[in-house]
């Protein structure tokens, strides 16, 4: 065994006792900084507001609720007809920051 092997073996023996307590360590990917959460939440609310503004400008009279999580926007509500529904979805898709639109808009039944 050479000197490198001895050093490596000694280092492994020195680390082994510490590995037993490693279960209390939280992986970095599971740690979310509060400032990041606040910024992400604010960005999500801003995106939902931008999409709602675009919908109001392009499909006046629509009754749509907009929620956003990351770049994914969910649309819920009732459109007067298929054309209005299409305009709403297109307005959401064209909004900067939107990566996906989940369309849960129904079409009002004619009386």
**d(Cα 75, Cα 25) in Å, to the nearest integer?**
40
49-98 per-position pLDDT tens digit: 999 999 988 877 778 999 999 899 999 999 988 999 999 999 999 999 99
Q: At what angle do helices 82-93 and 34-58 cross, to 10 degrees?
A: 140
Does residue 52 sit within a domain?
yes
Does residue 79 sit within a domain?
yes
Does residue 59 sit within a domain?
yes
Question: Does the reported pTM lie above 0.85?
Answer: no
Does residue 10 sit within a domain?
no
Q: Please, which residues have CB within 8 angstroms of residue 72's CB and are 6 or more apart in sequence?
A: 99, 100, 101, 102
Residue 106's domain is classified under what CATH number? 3.30.1340.30
Structural domain containing residue 94: 35-111
Does residue 43 sit within a domain?
yes
Number of domain units in the chain: 1
């Amino acid at each position: 065994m050479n000197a490198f092997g001895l050093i490596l073996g000694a280092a492994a023996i020195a680390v082994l006792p510490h590995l037993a307590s490693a279960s209390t360590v939280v992986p970095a990917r599971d740690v979310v900084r509060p400032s990041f959460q606040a910024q992400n939440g604010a960005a999500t609310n801003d995106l939902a507001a931008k999409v709602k503004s675009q919908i109001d400008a392009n499909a006046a009279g629509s009754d749509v609720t907009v929620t956003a999580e990351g770049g994914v926007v969910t649309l819920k509500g009732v459109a007067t007809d298929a054309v209005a529904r299409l305009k709403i979805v297109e307005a959401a898709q064209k909004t900067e920051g939107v990566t996906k639109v989940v369309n849960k808009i129904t079409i009002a039944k004619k009386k």
